């Protein structure tokens, strides 16, 4: 089925065609718009000065140093190389900011290498499985209530509050982290398996063996007004840091954490794979920007996007993410012919003779075999075959990031 985007508000497009696929009442994120123009404006407006000191600030919003570029980075509207290049300012701030971009790249390398294994505890045993447990986020705690409401309303959280929620869910409440990360994935505009699974693994201690202990101290430091207004102010359940825990190492960690015996599969094609003459360009959610390599290579060809109905049926994302996609496609339609399908990409794309950009995620397999032409992924830094068991181990082997 083809979906028309013409002259209709993005929310109305979602209401009309995609409402059976979402988990909430249809609305847009109040502050974050989709589209290349919005992404460019956000990057231009970001000043890295003060980032190192203010990155973890939560409230007041005016004191935050975080860039809020993540939804655009996640969906390829701002390639990491571009963001890396655009960070100009005091060296300590640039260095801290680029470090975070490298965390994003690390998550992509790790996920490209181990794929679905990231859904399991990587290196240490912590509560992992089980159904989603809303009580693990006690709403009478003002800090938890505010953070969950922000997640559900805005579709975005600063890193600090992601850590609070993940730690509260598993380290404090003992619920299995995979269902908690799924809830994040449903609601975040930047929700990616790579970064979200990694963020949960590291916060709850499954990646590092050192769980992040969430306590009142962090809230008072980063968002003092939340404690002041909290009904539990005088009987705070997180008054002290949690007891140190010492998670046991996983009995048989995935050997691919130590080395990659199939680096070519992890990194994807290094040069353009030509099978036949393309008649269209297909975009995926991994790469929706004007700099998408296949899009750039074929400025005259129509652009096709498929809302993957079977996948969305399972994921039940928040409507904010689908509105973000529609905004992005409407924005692109100002410059290119855009055709939007709703259905199964495995059935729709084989007849398209499409050029497409390879993406470092398992779900790209749906597009890989039938593409007429496949373009390499624009890595910030080339994947290597050495250890990825920690960020620092991974970084030691890394070659210089590319910034052009």
Q: Which residues bind ligand FAD (CB under 6 A)?
A: 55, 66-70, 73-74, 100-101, 103-104, 107, 158-159, 162-163, 166, 184, 188, 190-192, 195-196, 199-200, 203
Q: Residue 239 has which token pair?
A: 């008054």
Q: How far apart are CB 154 and ligand FAD at their closest, in Å?
A: 12
State how beta strands 338-343 and 303-308 pair.
Answer: parallel
Nearer to ligand FAD, 48 or 348 (CB): 48
Nearer to ligand FAD, 184 or 307 (CB): 184
Q: How many CA atoms lie within 13 A of 113 on its CB side?
A: 26
Q: How far apart are CB 391 and ligand FAD at their closest, in Å?
A: 9
Q: How far apart are CB 15 and ligand FAD at their closest, in Å?
A: 26
Q: How far apart are CB 195 and ligand FAD at their closest, in Å?
A: 3
Nearer to ligand FAD, 58 or 282 (CB): 58
Exposure of 320 by Cβ count < 10 A (0-12 exposed, 13-18 middle, 19+ buried)?
buried
Q: How far apart are CB 224 and ligand FAD at their closest, in Å?
A: 20
Alpha-carbon distances, residue 27 vs 22, 38, 304 (angstroms): 11, 18, 25
Nearer to ligand FAD, 228 or 393 (CB): 393
Q: Residue 108 has which token pair?
A: 């992509």
Instruction: Determine how many CB atoms are found less than 10 A away from the CB of residue 297.
Output: 15
Nearer to ligand FAD, 278 or 360 (CB): 360
Q: How far apart are CB 220 and ligand FAD at their closest, in Å?
A: 20
Nearer to ligand FAD, 100 or 344 (CB): 100
Q: How far apart are CB 327 and ligand FAD at their closest, in Å?
A: 18
Coil vs helix vs strand at 122: coil
Instruction: Classify 7 in phi/psi space as left (phi over 0), alpha (psi -120 to 50) or beta.
Output: left
Nearer to ligand FAD, 24 or 100 (CB): 100
Q: Which residue has the tokens 């990694």?
A: 198
Q: Sign of dihedral through CA atoms 335, 332, 109, 32?
A: positive
Nearer to ligand FAD, 100 or 382 (CB): 100
Q: How far apart are CB 43 and ligand FAD at their closest, in Å?
A: 11
Q: How far apart are CB 353 and ligand FAD at their closest, in Å?
A: 33
Euclidean distance between CA atoms 349 and 44, whole angstroms: 35
Provide the angle, in degrees to the nearest 10, between the axes of the packed helices 177-187 and 159-167: 150
Query: Residue of minimal CB distance from ligand FAD?
Result: 199
Euclidean distance between CA atoms 239 and 378, whole angstroms: 46
Nearer to ligand FAD, 26 or 102 (CB): 102
Euclidean distance between CA atoms 260 and 270, whole angstroms: 17
Euclidean distance between CA atoms 264 and 270, whole angstroms: 8
Q: Residue 97 has which token pair?
A: 């900011």
Q: How far apart are CB 383 and ligand FAD at their closest, in Å?
A: 16
Alpha-carbon distances, residue 147 vs 155, 223, 266, 297, 317 (angstroms): 11, 11, 35, 42, 18
Cβ contact 349:367 at 8 Å: yes
Length of the chain equals 404
Nearer to ligand FAD, 187 or 366 (CB): 187
């Amino acid at each position: 089925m083809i979906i028309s985007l013409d002259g209709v508000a993005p929310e109305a497009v979602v209401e009309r065609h995609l409402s059976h696929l979402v988990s909430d009442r249809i609305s847009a994120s109040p502050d974050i718009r989709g589209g290349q123009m919005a992404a460019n404006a956000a990057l231009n407006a970001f000043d890295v000065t003060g980032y190192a000191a203010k990155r973890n600030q939560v409230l007041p919003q005016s004191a935050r140093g975080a860039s809020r570029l993540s939804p655009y980075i996640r969906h390829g509207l701002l390639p990491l190389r571009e963001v890396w290049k655009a960070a100009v300012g005091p060296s300590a701030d640039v260095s801290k900011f680029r470090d975070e971009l490298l965390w994003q790249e690390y998550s992509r390398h790790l996920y490209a290498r181990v794929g679905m294994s990231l859904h399991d505890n990587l290196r240490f045993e912590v509560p992992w499985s089980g159904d989603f447990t809303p009580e693990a986020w006690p709403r009478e705690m003002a800090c938890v209530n505010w953070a969950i409401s922000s997640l559900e309303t805005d579709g975005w959280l600063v890193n600090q509050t992601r850590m609070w929620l993940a730690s509260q869910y598993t380290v404090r409440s003992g619920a299995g982290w995979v269902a908690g990360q799924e809830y994040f994935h449903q609601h975040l505009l930047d929700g990616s398996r790579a970064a979200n699974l990694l963020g949960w693994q590291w916060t709850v201690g499954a990646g590092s063996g050192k769980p992040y202990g969430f306590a009142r101290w962090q809230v008072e430091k980063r968002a003092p007004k939340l404690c002041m207004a909290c009904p539990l102010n005088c009987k705070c359940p997180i008054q002290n840091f949690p007891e140190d825990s010492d998670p046991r190492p996983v009995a048989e960690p995935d050997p691919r954490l130590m080395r990659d015996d199939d680096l070519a599969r992890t990194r994807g094609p290094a040069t353009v794979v030509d099978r036949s003459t393309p008649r269209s360009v297909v975009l995926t959610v991994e790469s929706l920007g004007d700099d998408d390599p296949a899009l750039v290579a074929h400025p005259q060809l129509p652009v096709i996007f498929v809302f993957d109905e079977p996948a969305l049926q399972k994921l039940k994302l928040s409507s904010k993410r689908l509105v973000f996609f529609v905004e992005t496609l409407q924005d692109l339609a100002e410059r290119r012919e855009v055709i939007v399908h709703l259905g199964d990409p495995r059935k729709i794309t084989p007849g398209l003779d499409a050029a497409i950009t390879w993406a470092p995620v398992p779900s790209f397999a749906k597009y890989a075999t039938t593409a007429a032409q496949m373009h390499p992924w624009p890595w910030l830094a080339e994947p290597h075959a050495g250890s990825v068991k920690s960020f620092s181990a991974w970084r030691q082997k890394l070659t210089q990031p590319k910034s052009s």
